[in-house]
Amino acid sequence: MTNHRFVALDGLRGVAAVAVLLTHAWVFLGHKWLPHGFMAVDFFFALSGFVVAFAYEGRLRAQHDVIGFLIGRRDRLYPMIFLGAVVGLIAALSFQSLPPWRLLVDFVSAALALPSPAEIGRHSATLFPMNGPVWSLFWELCANLVFAIWTYKAKSRTLILIAAAGAIGLALFDLQFLTLEGGFTEDRMPLGLARVTFSFTCGHLLYRAWATGLLPRYQFPAWALAAALVAPMFVAGGQYYPLIDLGLALVWYPAIVAVGAASLSKGRLWKWSGELSFPLYLVHYPVLMVFNARLHPTGFLQRASVTAAFVLVSVGLAYLVLKFYDEPVRAWLGKRRRAKSAALPQVVLAE
């Protein structure tokens, strides 16, 4: 079963990464043209829960190899997390004048995908200043750890209760903040916990439904699912803004994962989209930091030009990182694990 490939979901992962990049580009455009673009992270969490359960639940149940699972996840995620921290440090050194100890603490924290203790006490400042998107990987790794220790063997009704608790948390935070954007600042860290708890667990439950044949087998084209993924992000919503966030997290994005599991995509573009997604997610923010510090566009043409340059540089850098670092390092690590006869099955769809 682990050799199965969810081609449409693979491509959607890249679409979500581009949505995050374009969401952050608002600083150049002067307005948030993707008001709900940050909700792509909730799609990532749901997709990750599905894929991790697909790739590892059976093996963990059979062998109880928690250490092997954690090593596999480390080898898949940490090469890019570390490089993201390095690129973030280079970006910070190019325009910031922080004391060396502060840069060192922020860098080590980013390299370990942990909140930076140097930022504690700055109520609404990000705890992940070296590379902002690492905040979601912190929660991702927390969810992976809980999965490896407990939820892979939990009964489905237990998972339903966990997802329900996460959904209640999302609703309460949505009422409090009038948005689900958060999880990376000291004052909103519990919101990040609620987001990953619901979405990751929901993805896990969707895998079990897929494995038992309960999910619909409709085969929508990937482009239609990509449109469904991105279109709601453009809706401003006005007074209904909080309800849109909640609807996307609780219903819409889990539904896309459910339908996407049986859907098809054709062509190299979708495969390339999935391959590029993780490097793009982790290198675009340092590029954003440098552009935002050095360039101050005014007027439509300047803003559009800087935005286009930011997108092109980010995608180009991500491609170079993929081909000359991420893929070779993962191949070497995989070969090393196989040589030790301790490898876990290769994850076909890397979340």
Q: What is the pLDDT of residues 33-50, one digit of tens each?
A: 899 999 999 999 999 999
Stretch 201-228: mean pLDDT: 94
Q: Residue 44, Cα to own-chain centre: how many angstroms?
A: 5
- Block residue for tokens 């929660």: 139
In the prediction, which pLDDT does 1 show? Answer: 45
DSSP state of 346: P
In the prediction, which pLDDT does 334 show? Answer: 86
In the prediction, which pLDDT does 349 show? Answer: 46
Q: How many whole angstroms separate alpha carbon 114 and alpha carbon 141?
A: 10
Q: How many whole angstroms separate alpha carbon 261 and alpha carbon 44?
A: 14
Helix (H, G, I), strand (E, B) or coil at 176: helix
What pLDDT digit, counting tens, does each position of 272-320 carry?
999 999 999 999 999 999 999 988 888 889 999 999 999 999 999 999 9
- Comparing CA positions, the residue from 321, 327, 311, 42 lying closest to residue 198 is 42
Q: How many whole angstroms separate alpha carbon 210 and alpha carbon 91?
A: 43
Stretch 320-324: mean pLDDT: 98
* Better-predicted residue by pLDDT, 337 or 65: 65
In the prediction, which pLDDT does 270 show? Answer: 87
Residue 350 scores a pLDDT above 50: no
- Comparing CA positions, the residue from 304, 283, 233 lying closest to residue 28 is 304
Number of CB atoms found within 10 A of residue 230's CB = 19
Stretch 261-278: mean pLDDT: 87
Averaged pLDDT of the chain: 92
The lowest-confidence range among 22-26, 158-162, 207-211, 334-338 is 334-338
In the prediction, which pLDDT does 33 show? Answer: 85
φ, ψ of residue 58 to 5 degrees: the values are -60, -45
CB 15 within 8 A of CB 226: yes
Q: How many whole angstroms separate alpha carbon 329 and alpha carbon 321?
A: 11
Number of CB atoms found within 10 A of residue 160's CB = 14
What pLDDT digit, counting tens, does each position of 98-126 carry?
899 999 999 999 999 999 999 888 777 89
Q: How confident is the model at residue 340 (pLDDT cuts 50, 70, 90)?
A: confident
Angle in degrees, CA 317, 322, 328, rounded to 5 = 140
Q: How many whole angstroms separate alpha carbon 89 and alpha carbon 72?
A: 26
C-alpha pair distances (Å), 46 with each of 5, 95, 98: 17, 36, 37
In the prediction, which pLDDT does 3 show? Answer: 58
Residue 341 scores a pLDDT above 70: no
Burial of 324 (0-12, 13-18, 19+ CB in 10 A): exposed
